[in-house]
């Protein structure tokens, strides 16, 4: 498994683009999570509103099976619409 630091070292421009959505969620909390589950490439789409949960960091740190750092971002997503097809 590649760590984020490894990814930044290998592809700094792509990593920089990947960091932008997290900063952007503070400006506009609307987001879409998209997946292609199954053998038929069905589409599964969640339209959500996201907000950062700073107070949840300790809860996640205690529940996680990996290290949660003080500068990690924890977001909660409220699902507004689900599409599958």
Domains: count for the chain: 1
Is 7 among the domain residues? Answer: no
Is 5 among the domain residues? Answer: no
Q: Which two tokens stand for residue 83?
A: 């599409």
Is 49 among the domain residues? Answer: yes
Q: Mark residue 38 as left, alpha or beta (left: phi above 0; alpha: psi -120 to 50; beta: remaining).
A: left
- Whole-model pTM over 0.75: no
Q: What is the domain range of residue 53?
A: 26-84
Q: What is residue 68's predicted lDDT score, i.e. its pLDDT?
A: 80
- State the residue for tokens 């506009």: 28
Is 45 among the domain residues? Answer: yes
Is 16 among the domain residues? Answer: no
Is 51 among the domain residues? Answer: yes
- Chunked into runs of 10 residues, the chain (85 residues) has average pLDDT values of 86 85 85 88 92 85 80 88 92
Is 21 among the domain residues? Answer: no
Contacts of residue 62, defined as CB under 8 A and 6 or more positions apart, other chains included, come to none
Phi, psi dihedrals of residue 41, rounded to the nearest 5°: 60, 40
Is 3 among the domain residues? Answer: no
């Amino acid at each position: 498994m590649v760590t984020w630091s490894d990814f930044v070292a290998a592809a700094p421009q792509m990593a920089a683009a990947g960091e932008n959505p997290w900063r952007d969620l503070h400006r506009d909390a609307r987001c879409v999570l998209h997946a292609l589950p199954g053998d038929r490439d069905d589409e599964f789409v969640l339209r959500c509103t996201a907000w950062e949960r700073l107070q949840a960091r300790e809860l996640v740190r205690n529940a996680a099976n990996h290290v949660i750092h003080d500068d990690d971002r924890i977001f909660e997503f409220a699902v507004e619409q689900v599409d599958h097809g």
